[in-house]
Structure 1
Amino acid sequence: MGTLLIKISTVYFVIGFSIGYYMSTSHQYTLTGVHVHINLLGWTALTLIGIIYVLFPHLTERVYAKIHFWLHNVGLPIMMISLAVMLQTGNMNSIPLITSSAVGGTLVLIGVVFFAFNIIVNLNDKA
């Protein structure tokens, strides 16, 4: 799972960098929030989590790791696509977009809580 998360994070890095490159070359910065969140929650966080799981593979055997993996990787695209559409269209009052962004963000948050619980409870000095 650690290696897979690092590979997935690399895809997020390419996406996040590409958005940043687009904004820089076009001088249109409406997607800054998407760029930042993809780089932080996709590239940085998942890379670090992947490294932790490579260093401590017993943590991936826990159900908490699997729950985090799926919630994070389902929730983040939902949240980022919804946010991108809201920012690009300027339609910040669309209930379906706001709801899907909130659902995506909530999935990621719950996933991160499962990750944190897994680390706090199952990582010990002997690992």
Structure 2
Amino acid sequence: MGIKLIKISVVYFMIGVCIGLYMSMVHDYTLAPVHVHINLLGWTALTLAGLIYHLFPAVSTTKLAKAHFWLHNVGLPLMMIGLFLFVLGNEALVPVIATGGVLTTVGILLFGINILKELKAE
């Protein structure tokens, strides 16, 4: 699971960099919230989780790890697509942002619980 998360995080990194490049080229930073969330929750958080799961494979095989993987990777795209369209003026997508945010947050909390519960000194 660690390698999968690292590969997924690289996709988020590429998307985040492209959004940043676009904003700097057109001198319009409306998408800054999307850029920041993709880089922090997509690139950084998933890279770190992937490294932890790779370095400590025992914590990557639990039900909590699987729940984290799916909640984070379903919630974050929902939140980012909703936020992207919201900052461009579509206020009808606030529930999508909230749903994605809750899924992502629950996934991250489960990741934390999993690490605190299952990670043992060797």
Superposition TM-score tier, normalisation by shorter sequence: over 0.9
Q: Deviations over 1:38-62 (max 9, x none)?
A: 0000000000000001100011110
TM-score of the aligned structures, taking structure 1 as reference length:
0.94
1:105 match: 101
1:32 aligned onto 2:32: yes
1:124 Cα shift?
1.1
Q: Aligned letter for 1:103?
A: T
Match of 1:41, SS state, is helix
User: What secondary structure sits across from 2:29 in the alignment?
Assistant: coil
Give the alignment's TM-score, normalised by structure 2. Answer: 0.98
Amino acid of the structure 2 residue aligned with 1:102? A
Instruction: Supply the distance in 2 between the matched residues of 1:86 and 1:117 (Cα, whole angstroms).
Output: 32
Indicate the residue corresponding to 2:114 in structure 1. Answer: 118
Q: Offset of 1:112 from its aligned partner? A: 0.5
CA deviations 1:29-88 (Å, max 9, x no partner) are: 000000000000000000000000110001111000000000000000000000010101
| Matched length | 122
Coordinate RMSD, CA, aligned? 0.7
Aligned equivalents of 1:31 and 1:88: distance in 2? Answer: 8
Distance 1:86 1:55 in 2: 38
Structure 1 segments unaligned to the other structure (5+ residues):
none
Structure 2 residue aligned with 1:70: 70
In 2: Cα distance, 1:75 partner to 1:38 partner: 12
Unaligned runs of 5+ in 2: none
Quick one: percent identity of the two aligned structures?
57
3-state SS in 2 of match to 1:25: helix
